[in-house]
Structures are given as structure tokens and as C-alpha cells.
Amino acid sequence: MEVKGKSTEELSELASQIRDRIIDVVSRKGGHFSSTLGAVELTLGMHYVFDVDSDPFIFDVSHQCYAHKLLTQRWEEFETIRQFGGLCGFTKPNENKADYFVAGHSSTSISLAVGAAKSIQLKNENRVPVVMIGDGSMSAGMVYEALNELGDLKLPVVIILNDNEMSIAKPIGAISKYLSKILAGKFYQSFKARVDKFIRNNMPEGTTYLAKRLESSIKLITPGILFEELGIDYIGPIDGHDIEEIIETLEIAKSMNKPVIVHARTVKGKGYKIAEGQHEHWHGVGPFNVQDGEFIKKVVQKSATAIYSETLLNLARKYENIVGVTAAMPSGTGIDKLIEEFPTRFWDVAIAEQHAITSMAAMAKEGFKPFITIYSTFLQRGFDQIIHDVCIMALPVVFAMDRAGIVGNDGETHQGVFDINFLRFIPNMILFAPRDNETLEYSLEFAYNLDKPCAIRYPRGSFKQLEYKATPFELGKAELLKSGASNKLFIGYGAGVSKAIEVEKLHNEDIAILDLRFIKPIDKEILKELSKKYNFWYVFSDSQKLGGVASAIMETLNELNILNIKITSFEYEDNFIEHGDTSDVERYLGLLPEQIVNNI
């Protein structure tokens, strides 16, 4: 959709049409909402000033990219957003060339822009990377690593700081705003260059220092001093919903031919009054009624997250040395309730997974029992810290991994399928998983009493209710739930146990079921005993196959020199898993219970 050359009035009308389309579709299908509504005018400004066909358009996280998708030949297809086989909820280059890079995790955008700018310089091309990043993403260290190099290289990059929650620093009213634009304008930049040249050529050395101090004193009354000190020019804050001001400012920033941050103040949920200013409640939503904002509720069991939150809260009341942390996901992980009751023992450290892990390692060394509560997909971001700061010293830190397995509509950047694989090979790490709500409660009590690092995984949504009585965990011990008359054995791990039970019920044979419970250390004795009775083993786990549960079992059998077992794994193959409702994704993968029965 062409925006260049349109009048301010036409662009304002287009902004309204885009918001109406987003509200209509998301209210019926669900998706990211308040952030993407707040970024509509900024996105229009990007498309007006820059060339989407050549300039890299880089959206941090890219949960705010819906307007960009609508402007790039996806208006009708937007109906399929986050549905299986439809548009991805994040930027995705193989979906449309206007999407420069795959995104989904936070704080990568400026590093991408630096890499793109280096490439453009080497190829001697006339292109400018433009970034949109939210103020929340500015809490991650990777952003400052990138800014540090960018400020040194001085390559042309325009960074739009979409500030929709809090100001980086409080501006001093209209004077700050006016001076910021003046400092970035052509007149000031030209004047500054001439003054600098005159001072260098004609004045004593000491007056150069005075001139620099004069310039610094002017900049100090703007809120951009942090970026200026990093060598990045700063403009703002500007009104992120004033299209005319956005276009004017972006044109100035582009013309400067060096790194510039444009600080834009926006309102989350802009254009849908009920959602405006609601920071977390309307961030990502399911279907809702547009007229009153009421969510269309489904009758569901209590989620694993809720069980975890309640259980940990009770444990924290019982044991005063329990502490905990989450990384920008307090309500998503249930830690908000613990932060509220124990604000000096539980923290949200923002998007800083590496810091979260290392800081908790120190607390473990000081005698506390840390619970790091984090989505499986985001634990990847602290991989080095798990090895270097926790496991080498065998510190008793608990990693509680929410959203393990297929998470559905967020897709390949968010699927929690790799945690078993990348944690299993780390020395001193204990890995175990509950199969239902009751065993989740037992797992947390067990984790508290464990004197080594450990990781627990549990799924998004609810566990299935199972008929088998829950029992406490015992280190490295599996549990045989059911013996069988056939020569088949179903082995489940975590949520895979319920899948094994479902498949067994659909099968016409009497099949034994084992809850493996521990993948590390694995129960060698029970595997040895079961190998004497059952020759065909089938493994169920919502995780990656390579290096996963079946691999651990095969390694154990090889070590025990047991050669009579045929193992079939229903874990995930060596591919990234697309977005869509979990049942649709599992059907595509051939992992619905009825499909597995036919396979067996």
C-alpha cells in the first residue's frame, strides 16, 4: 500500500482504517494488541520517509508489526494472523520480503541494524537501516552492546524509540523538545561544524574545552544525555501519534547520515479507548467483544502456571530462604503474586535473563534458595550463565520452565521444545518433570530440598487430569503407572505421560505405562527390569527428538549393554515448529493420539 505523497489528512484516515482492521481481526482471532495499536503512526512515518523495498525495516520483538504487515500487501491475508498456515504474528522474511528479519525475542534489533549498516557501507549502497524498539526492550544489555559499537562507528542508522510505558528520563517540557529538534536540525549541525573548525584553526587549545562544555550544557537539559554520551545523536521526545511531526523528524534523522535515536512518546492501545494505557492486560489477547472489551472466556481447568504460583507462594511462606526472579513476565509466570506478598524476596528484573540467572547464583551461594521462573524459550537467552555461574559450582538454583512444549500461535520463536536438549548435557544439572497438577506440587517441594541445580518443565495451559495417584519425587526414580500384557511399553516424560495414557486407551492392547519422571539422572534399574518383559518401547515427550528423552534412554540401554529393545520416539523432528493452534500443529506433525495409534 503506497503512502508516499499522501497528505497528512489522508495518512490520518489511513491510520484509522489500519486500527479498525487490527481491532476487528484481533477481537475475533486474538493476537498482540495494545503495542501494535500504539505504533500505527510511527509505522506510517517509517513507510513515508524510508523505502521499504531497499531500507532494512527492523522491528524489535516485532509484536508491534501488524500495521507494517497491512501496509505491505497483506491486508486481506491479515484475517489469518497467527492461525495455522496463515500469517505469522511476528516479522518473517519468507512470508514477505518487506520483513527484513525473523523476530520474536527482545532486544536484537539494534545489533541487526549495526550488521546491516556495516554491510551497506562495504557494498557502497545508499540505504539506511531503520529500527523500531520499545522502551521495555531497552532494559536488556544487548541493546547497549550494540549502541556502544554504533556510537563508535558512526554509521547511518535511525532508531525509533517507541516509549509507551515510561520515559527514559523526564524531559523538561517544551524547551527540551524544541532544543532537541534544534540540535538535530541542519542549521545547528552546520553551525556546529563551522564553529568546531574555527576553534581548531584559530583559538588556543584551552578554549576547545570551553566550547565542548558549552555544547554539553545545552544537551544536559534534554533527556537524551545517555545516548549522546554513547555517541548517538538524540531527537525527542516527539508525539508518536502526530503524523506530521513524525515525518518531519524522521526526515531530519535520515538526512543526518549518522546514528540517531528518535524518542517518540506513544499510548498503548491508541484508538481503542478500553485498552489505552493498560500496559499488560491488553498486550496479547484472546478473542474479545469490541463493544465492551469483555474477553470471550473458555471454560478451562486451572493452569499449570496458576498451580505453580500458588504452590511456590505457600512454600515461600513456609521457608524464609526462598527467593525468586522473573524476566519481564511477572503475570505470565505467576510470580506477580509472590512479588506482591514478598517484595524484598521476589523480583522482576526486566528483559535481562543473563543478569537474572547470575544474580540468583550469588544468592544461592549466600544460602538462599532461588527459583528462576521463566518461559522455556527465554531460558535459552541465559545459556552461558547456566553453565558458568550456576552449574560449575553446583549451586542449588531451581529453573522453573513455563510454556514447555508447543505454545501454539506465537510459533517458532516461542515453542518451548529445546530445554531438555540444551540442559541435559550440563554436569551437575538435575532434570525432572511433573505429569499433572499434584505432581507439580510435589516437584517444587522436592526442588526446594535438592542441593544441586535443577530444572522443572511444565506446559502452557492446563495439565490433563489423570486417574493415577500422585506420589512424592525421589531422586532419579521413575514410576511404573501400569503393567501390561503385551510386549509394548509406553514411556512418558512430563506432559507426555498424559499423551501416553490417551494413546493407550485408544489402543486395542494392554500396554504398560512408565512415568520416567527424571531424565537426568535416569532410572537405570527400572529400565533394566522393564527390558526383560517389554521389547517395543514408545517415548512420549513434548520436546525435540535430537538429544531428547529417547536419546537418553538409548544411551542408557547401550551403557547397560541391553540390545533387545526397539525404541520409537514421538518427540519432535529436527525442524522449527510453525505457529497455529496446538491441535492443528500436532495434527500437521502426526502427533494427535489417534494418529499415533495408527502409527504404532
Active-site residue set: 268, 353, 381
| Rounded distance between C-alpha atoms, residue 400 and residue 46, angstroms | 40
Please name the residue ranges forming H helices in 166-219.
173-184, 186-202, 205-219
DSSP string, 32-79: E-HHHHHTHHHHHHHHHHS-TTTS-EEESS-TT-HHHHHHTT-TTGGG
Identify the residue whose cell numbers are 534399574.
525
CB 83 within 8 A of CB 29: yes
How is residue 537 written as a grid cell?
518401547
> Strand pairing of 233-239 and 284-285?
unpaired
3-class secondary structure, 518: strand
**DSSP three-state, residue 463:** coil
Q: What is the Cα–Cα distance from 391 to 245, expressed in whole angstroms?
A: 52
Three-state DSSP class for 150? helix
Rounded Cα distance, 474 and 518, in Å: 9
Report the C-alpha gap between 301 and 286 in whole angstroms: 17
Between CA 114 and CA 173 the distance in angstroms is 32
Task: Provide the residue type at 54 as one letter.
Answer: S
Specify whether the backbone of 274 is left (phi greater than 0), alpha (psi in -120 to 50) or beta: alpha
Cα dihedral across residues 134, 140, 143, 148: positive or negative = positive
Decide: 151 and 226 in contact? Cβ < 8 Å.
no
